[in-house]
């Protein structure tokens, strides 16, 4: 575990060194690819700006993720419990996902205004779908013999739901949450492109217009780091708390 982590850090550092060396040796033009040191210098010089961007984008991601996961859980549960509801609404969910989220972006900004909530909405929208699908599928896969056993104990629908369906579906929900948090981050970044003043997405856009290549790379690295950290956090939660597998 520890050793694996150390070697991963070493590999990352090695990559930075390789990057630096390649740029210097092959004398790559800075407007094509800045040196690693230039990117790190840019980061060091703009910690304040980047810090504010991180706080903003991370808030959008986490709030959007939480709302999306809650929506997904509620709808997924409802679809699992009611076949009729699933037949009625599930196709709508699929269709909604077939439309690229960018197409909705303008609409969301017009409805919710150009502040944090429009980004939250887009992050939530992206998170909700996988969570809905996996909650529903996980709960539908519940072992009918275990349902029968709990019913023979006198369990009603509510007890069955909380004591059996929810824990039974948790491994599959956890998988969706890992996907959802990554999608939520994308949603937040893309959401900022529709206009804002703070956030990593908007920093990326500004850097692109100013052809500030070190800044573009700074933001890319920061976004990557956030993505990895969020994913690892959920992976750790899953390993610690949701380690059982669905038995067939």
Please report how close the Cβ of residue 157 comes to another protein at its closest, in angstroms. Answer: 12
Query: Does residue number 148 form part of the binding site for another protein (CB under 8 A)?
Result: yes
Write the secondary structure of the chain as one string of H (helix), E (strand) and C (coil).
CHHHHHHHHHHHHHHHHHHHHHHHHCCCCCCCCCCHHHHHHHHHHCHHHHHHHHHHHHHHHHHHHHHHHHHHHHHHHHHHHCHHHHHHHHHHHHHHHHCCHHHHHHHHHHHHCCCHHHHHHHHHHHHHHHHHHHHHHHHHCCCHHHHHHHHHCCCCHHHHHHHHHHHHHHHHHHHHHHHHHHHHHHHHHHHHCCCCCCCHHHHHHHHHHCCCHHHHHHHHHHHHHHHHHHHHHHHHHHHHHCCCCCCC
Whichever of 22 and 166 has its CB closer to another protein, that residue is 166
Query: Does residue number 247 form part of the binding site for another protein (CB under 8 A)?
Result: yes
Radius of gyration of the chain, Cα coordinates, nearest whole angstrom: 22
Whichever of 3 and 248 has its CB closer to another protein, that residue is 248
Query: Does residue number 163 form part of the binding site for another protein (CB under 8 A)?
Result: yes
Query: Does residue number 240 form part of the binding site for another protein (CB under 8 A)?
Result: no
Query: Does residue number 170 form part of the binding site for another protein (CB under 8 A)?
Result: yes
Query: Does residue number 152 form part of the binding site for another protein (CB under 8 A)?
Result: yes
User: Out of 41, 52, 137, 146, which residue is the one contacting another protein (CB under 8 A)?
Assistant: 146
Whichever of 26 and 153 has its CB closer to another protein, that residue is 153
Query: Does residue number 157 form part of the binding site for another protein (CB under 8 A)?
Result: no
Please report how close the Cβ of residue 181 comes to another protein at its closest, in angstroms. Answer: 22
Distance CA 199, CA 56 (A): 5
Query: Does residue number 100 form part of the binding site for another protein (CB under 8 A)?
Result: no
Query: Does residue number 41 form part of the binding site for another protein (CB under 8 A)?
Result: no
Q: Is 178 left (phi over 0), alpha (psi -120 to 50) or beta?
A: alpha
Query: Does residue number 248 form part of the binding site for another protein (CB under 8 A)?
Result: no
User: Out of 74, 78, 155, 186, which residue is the one contacting another protein (CB under 8 A)?
Assistant: 155
Whichever of 8 and 246 has its CB closer to another protein, that residue is 246
Whichever of 100 and 144 has its CB closer to another protein, that residue is 144
Query: Does residue number 141 form part of the binding site for another protein (CB under 8 A)?
Result: no
Query: Does residue number 5 form part of the binding site for another protein (CB under 8 A)?
Result: no
Query: Does residue number 111 form part of the binding site for another protein (CB under 8 A)?
Result: no
**Contact between residue 168 and residue 246 where contact means Cβ atoms under 8 Å apart:** yes
Q: Most distant CA pair in the chain: distance in Å?
A: 76
Whichever of 123 and 139 has its CB closer to another protein, that residue is 139
**Contacting positions for another protein (CB under 8 A):** 143, 145-146, 148-155, 159, 163-164, 167, 170, 244-245, 247
């Amino acid at each position: 575990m520890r050793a694996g982590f150390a070697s991963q850090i070493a590999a990352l550092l090695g990559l930075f060194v390789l990057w630096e060396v390649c740029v210097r040796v092959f004398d790559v033009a800075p407007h094509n690819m800045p040196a690693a040191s230039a990117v790190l210098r840019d980061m060091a010089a703009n910690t304040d700006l980047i810090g504010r961007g991180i706080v903003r984008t991370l808030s959008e991601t986490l709030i959007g993720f939480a709302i999306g996961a809650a929506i997904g859980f509620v709808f997924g549960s409802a679809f699992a419990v009611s076949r009729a509801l699933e037949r009625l609404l599930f196709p709508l969910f699929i269709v909604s996902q077939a439309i690229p989220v960018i197409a909705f972006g303008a609409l969301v900004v017009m409805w919710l205004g150009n502040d944090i909530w429009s980004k939250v909405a887009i992050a939530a929208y992206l998170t909700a779908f996988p969570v809905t699908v996996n909650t529903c599928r996980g709960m539908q896969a519940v072992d009918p013999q275990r349902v029968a056993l709990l019913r023979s104990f006198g369990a009603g629908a509510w007890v069955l739901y909380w004591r059996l369906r929810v824990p039974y579906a948790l491994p599959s929900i956890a998988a969706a949450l890992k996907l959802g948090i990554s999608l939520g981050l994308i949603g937040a970044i893309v959401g900022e492109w529709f206009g804002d003043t703070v956030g990593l997405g908007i920093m990326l856009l500004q850097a692109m217009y100013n052809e500030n290549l070190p800044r573009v790379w700074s933001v890319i690295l920061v976004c990557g780091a956030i993505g990895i950290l969020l994913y690892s956090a959920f992976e750790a939660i899953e390993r610690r708390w949701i380690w059982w597998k669905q038995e067939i």
